Structure 1
Amino acid sequence: MALKFLPFKRSSTADGAPIAVDLADRATARTADCSGTRVHYWEYAPACDTPASRTIVMVHGFRGDHHGLERVVELLPEHRIIMPDLPGFGASPAFAPGTHGTGRHDVPGYGAFLASFLDTLGLGPDTVLLGHSFGSIVTSHFVAANPGRVFPLILVNPIASPALEGPKGVMTKLAVFYYWASARLPARLGNALLRSKLIVYVMSVTMAKTRDKALLAFIHGQHHAYFSGFANRDMLLEAFQASVSGTVREVAAKLALPTLLIAGSEDEIATLPNQHKLLGLLPDGELVVIDKVGHLIHYETPEPAAEAINNFLERHPAP
């Protein structure tokens, strides 16, 4: 097991100009029928092929979509990257009843979807799997249930303990009530509450650690543009309940492949002490800690995250 600290790196432009992601030359929007769900996904072709080039499937976090990880994608030009909008989020519809196991938007449901997605695209065991936040729960449980299916595993801001146990436990309980009430209120009022610009802004401010005005503007813009792209209130409640109850820790001992944890030193959702505990449970784990960032590594510090990913993949080539 290994532990490494990486310094904070400025992610804004030197003159404070607006931040923009430019992947037009690499990105292709596609759809695939995965066991009854017509999922939308994006394929980012490698800008240059090298002997170290890999195919990486990335799984975004709760209330996100493929846009959230594009700053990291931009810094991995030698790799082919595939990112679905998880069913119920972004452009992908919710699960139809009875599909993907129970048809629920929970960890087993998304795990069944991920298995179908990899099979549908013909992605073999040399595929790299990366999950961010809630995506770390989905991907780790999938790997534990399907040994040898991918290699290796990368978890960004991994959820190492149930949210109700953390220092923000009271806030999590309030969030549980918020999602529960929003699902029970009349549809118009419940949807308005879930998509409230004020609440989305508060969530964004709470998670961001940077003081860079251009970067903050980018983060808030991303959250306002994509954080409310969910199919319906019921699936959102199911996914939220899964996000605050499931953990990587539950299956850590079963992750019998090289696993990289990329954590933020100031993460209040996936706290650093719990990352160290998680590292101790992994059979073959490494922990990279990025300084001065919290739960938004993918937005605030994509450079050191991409550096850690490339370094990890160089040391763990395709089997």
Structure 2
Amino acid sequence: MTPRNPLETHLSAIPTKHTVFTVCDARTAVWTYGPDDAATTFILVHGFRGTHHGLELLAAAMPECQFIAPDLPGFGESQPFSGTHSLEQYAGWLTEFCEIVDPDASAIVLGHSFGSMIVANAVTNLSPRRISLVNPIAENALSGPDRILTNIAIGYYKLGALLPERLGSWLMSAPFITRIMSEVMAVTRNRALRQWIHAQHHAHFSDFANRQVLLEAFRASVSDDVTHHAADFPSGTSLIVGERDKIAPLPSSQRLQAAMPGSQLFVIEGVGHLVHYETPLALARVLRETYNTGS
């Protein structure tokens, strides 16, 4: 039996629309949750190897808000770019996407993990929108504390690209690899929640267009960090981090906050890189208090 999260029951009661836009010549699949007349709208930018599913529990936790959740090009139901899947290309896509779905620039743009890097590369073009970063990648993975694991991952993705098509594609989406990644990221001791997280990763972590897209996106994910763009962020930017995050450690997030004038740092205790999965209600509480959504 597939594990269920109690918030999924609430999610099924949220008004949801599925639409498609062509953004930077890529067919982009979009899910919009919540009321059309909501006072507050969030545009969600998911992480590496994820899809819109990763952040949708926020819609269940904050039914008073509207959430616009696209699949990044090359992932989920969105087509890949015709060119390279670089941070610059994703930043251009995000800029154009926001202009289409939020022409009056009133939404809050929320990026998780790799999504925080995309937001960082586009931030000068997103003004005057407010920004929230969840588990932001504050330090370049090639020089961070887990650079040995990063180099192992680089070798894994390179091997997947070099192998014959069938074998390489299998390696890139092998269930045991997905499970290892999921075990590394999940820190909760709640058995049922861990099972649900692993099931989510099993269902969506290998939903990418092809292995070349995955390799290019991975290269993008280790090519930059948010701190490099800290001075470009507007005052009032919120940084929401996990106390036990191994991928984006708390000390690096604290340095990011110090380098980002006027930003606010919120630390959720006992959670790692999966704040959106392990503690969505705590995340929602921070967002409500920060942006006064009215619930």
TM range (shorter): over 0.9
Matching of residue 279 in structure 1 with residue 265 in structure 2? no
Task: Select which of 133, 146, 165 maps to 2:125.
Answer: 146
Contact 1:46 1:80 in 2 (8 A): yes
Structure 2 gap segments, 5+ residues each: none
Task: Select which of 286, 289, 294 maps to 1:311.
Answer: 289
Residue correspondence of structure 1 range 138-217 to structure 2 within 5 A: 138-143=118-123, 145-146=124-125, 148-150=127-129, 152-217=130-195
The residue type equivalent to 1:146 in the other structure is N
Match of 1:77 in 2: 63
The residue type equivalent to 1:80 in the other structure is Q
Matching of residue 136 in structure 1 with residue 116 in structure 2? yes
Match of 2:16 in 1: 27
CA distance in 2, matches of 1:121, 1:297: 26
How big is the shift at 1:228?
A: 0.2
| Equivalent position SS for 2:48 | coil
The residue type equivalent to 2:107 in the other structure is T
| Equivalent position SS for 1:95 | coil
Contact 1:124 1:149 in 2 (8 A): no
Matching of residue 42 in structure 1 with residue 31 in structure 2? yes
Match of 2:76 in 1: 90
- TM-score (normalizing by structure 2): 0.94
How big is the shift at 1:119?
A: 2.1
Contact 2:242 2:272 in 1 (8 A): yes
Match of 1:245 in 2: 223
Distance 1:253-1:105 versus aligned 2 partners, 3 A rule: same
CA distance in 1, matches of 2:126, 2:97: 16
| Equivalent position SS for 1:164 | coil
- Greater RCO (Cα-Cα under 8 Å, separation 6 or more): 1
CA distance in 1, matches of 2:103, 2:109: 11
Structure 1 gap segments, 5+ residues each: 1-16, 97-102
Q: Aligned residues, how many?
A: 289
Deviations 1:254-311 (A, max 9, x none): 1123210000010011000001100001111000001111101010011111111111
Contact 1:153 1:257 in 2 (8 A): no
**Alignment RMSD, CA only?**
1.7
Distance 1:232-1:149 versus aligned 2 partners, 3 A rule: farther
Distance 1:122-1:18 versus aligned 2 partners, 3 A rule: closer
Contact 2:24 2:81 in 1 (8 A): no
CA distance in 2, matches of 1:231, 1:313: 35
Match of 1:9 in 2: none
The residue type equivalent to 2:49 in the other structure is R
Contact 2:24 2:92 in 1 (8 A): no
CA distance in 2, matches of 1:26, 1:111: 29
How big is the shift at 1:146?
A: 1.3
How big is the shift at 1:46?
A: 2.8
- TM-score (normalizing by structure 1): 0.87
Deviates most, 27-36 or 79-88: 27-36
How big is the shift at 1:77?
A: 0.9
How big is the shift at 1:54?
A: 1.0
CA distance in 2, matches of 1:18, 1:228: 20
How big is the shift at 1:166?
A: 2.1
CA distance in 2, matches of 1:296, 1:312: 20
CA distance in 1, matches of 2:207, 2:74: 8
